[in-house]
Chains A and B, each alone.
Chain A
């Protein structure tokens, strides 16, 4: 075996082993912290004991707020999906308008910049006022918070469509619509997907806040309920679940994005 492939192999092993080592170190620190400085923090083993049922029977439904962790995750995901789809359906055309028209950009860019940093905690009450029910208020909040990366990245993508491509369209005298569909959208697609990926990340971030405040069943609702019932182990279970699901979602979008860039 030559040194090149050996190096490669070692790198592979490193990629698998090093994260495990990192994880082990964090768990060890957690264990030490929970027995010394932060005694109210459940230890890793207690967390596992308390969470076992929820993890081993992930789809079980024992009661409204006593269900398997993946079942809760599923509820949260469907809720996220609704708000996210609305965000994309609104955000993409808005991004195109911002990217294509200087007039539109001058008029609305400041508003976008002002609305963008508004916290979900601020949108939710407005959602209640508008829709009177928690479920649509949550969807509204997710949409309002997660829309902006799609808007801004789409606008950026539209603005960075190379002039050369537009010249091709001009020489062929493509109509405005055809130029949009056949040149601008495909050229801006990689940027749009970056926006979609970031938006999904935010939508997932917001779901916890939305569920906590609305008390809807889901990972966030479960987390809040267990906090109120003083079962702190489950808070950690929920945090880990939220993190892992968010990571997987991001990776999945990242794969699609990469294919768009290279393909």
Chain B
């Protein structure tokens, strides 16, 4: 049975129809990557899945039941990190751990926080406040915070986008390892098709907005562990990359053509009928 489902979901903000007729079904233990252009509605989609916002139409299901609101069962790595600026890196993670593992002893809780900070390579910076961390370090704290509460589903909204190539590669490997070892269900939003292919079992493209919708999922049938460099020459890899990129560019072209046509119609109807002097 699917652990997370979207059934014909629509979402608008005022008059902007961001998502239109979005359906998705995620199996337990699956790592699904969602790729799409900036502003298409990826974060909006994540908010629906986490329960932070409600669909205008359609349903969001978690383990077959409608999502009523957010819960630590669905951990979120927010795109803008959302660290609390008055707490150190350690305290930010600790706040989450103390809430979710409230029955553990203080020592066990602290030990858990330390373990996850270690995992993202931030032990040396654990006393620093977010303002004293680089963008990439903040993302890692946010990642540690989401991982440390051991959610059943991890919703990650571009968790690696602010990182340099090296750190990014390290954390990609880390995410891959967590996915493999823990068997967690992971939804990963990214704007990097290569990253999606490297990590995902399945890639779902989100068409260009407004009224974005999910395209056909593409399974990634490349054996794990996947080797970044070798993959570049894999014909399957190239085929996936080409098909997803083409799909996205095509939806963008269609959208542009349509909005240009709309503008033309609007402009023509607004123009006064008058011959030039």
- Where the two chains meet, the residues of A that have a C-beta atom closer than 8 Å to any C-beta of B are 164-165, 167-168, 170-174, 178, 182-183, 186-187, 189, 263
Q: Judge if B75 is at the interface, Cβ distance under 8 Å.
A: yes
CA distance A256 to B145 in the complex (A): 31
At the interface, is chain B mostly helix, strand, loop or mixed? loop
Q: A164-B78, A183-B84 are in contact. Are A172 and B69 (CB under 8 A)?
A: no
B78 CB contacts on chain A under 8 angstroms: 164, 167-168
Contact B71 A173 (CB under 8 A): yes
B96 to chain A, nearest CB (A): 6
Contact A174 B84 (CB under 8 A): no
Number of interface residues of B (CB under 8 A): 19
State which residues 88-147 of B face A: CB under 8 Å: 95-96, 99-100
CA distance A88 to B160 in the complex (A): 44
B80 CB contacts on chain A under 8 angstroms: 164
- 10 shortest interchain CB distances as A-B pairs: A164-B82, A170-B70, A171-B70, A186-B86, A172-B99, A168-B82, A171-B76, A167-B52, A172-B96, A172-B72
A173 CB contacts on chain B under 8 angstroms: 70-72, 99
Q: A164-B78, A164-B80, A164-B82 are in contact. Are A172 and B52 (CB under 8 A)?
A: no
- Between-chain CB contacts (< 8 Å), 19 pairs: A164-B80, A164-B82, A167-B52, A167-B70, A167-B76, A167-B78, A168-B84, A168-B96, A170-B52, A171-B70, A171-B71, A171-B75, A172-B96, A173-B70, A173-B71, A173-B72, A173-B99, A174-B99, A178-B99
Interface flags, B49-85, vs A, CB<8A=1, else 0: 0101000000000000000011110111010101010
B76 CB contacts on chain A under 8 angstroms: 167, 171
Candidates A165, A174, A186, A189; contact of B82 at CB < 8 Å: A165
CA distance A167 to B50 in the complex (A): 10
At the interface, is chain A mostly helix, strand, loop or mixed? helix
Interface flags, B2-38, vs A, CB<8A=1, else 0: 0000000000000000000000000000000000000
B71 CB contacts on chain A under 8 angstroms: 171, 173
CA distance A172 to B149 in the complex (A): 9
CA distance A183 to B85 in the complex (A): 10
B78 to chain A, nearest CB (A): 7
B75 CB contacts on chain A under 8 angstroms: 171
CA distance A174 to B69 in the complex (A): 13
Candidates B52, B84, B99, B100; contact of A165 at CB < 8 Å: B84
CA distance A168 to B72 in the complex (A): 10
A189 CB contacts on chain B under 8 angstroms: 86
A167-B82, A171-B71, A172-B95 known, 14 other contacts, Cβ within 8 Å: A164-B78, A168-B82, A168-B84, A170-B52, A171-B50, A171-B72, A171-B74, A171-B76, A172-B99, A173-B70, A173-B71, A183-B84, A186-B86, A263-B86
A190 to chain B, nearest CB (A): 10
A178 to chain B, nearest CB (A): 8
Q: A164-B78, A182-B95 are in contact. Are A171 and B84 (CB under 8 A)?
A: no
B100 CB contacts on chain A under 8 angstroms: 172
- Determine which residue in A164, A178, A186, A187 has the highest number of CB atoms from chain B within 10 A of its CB, and name it: A164
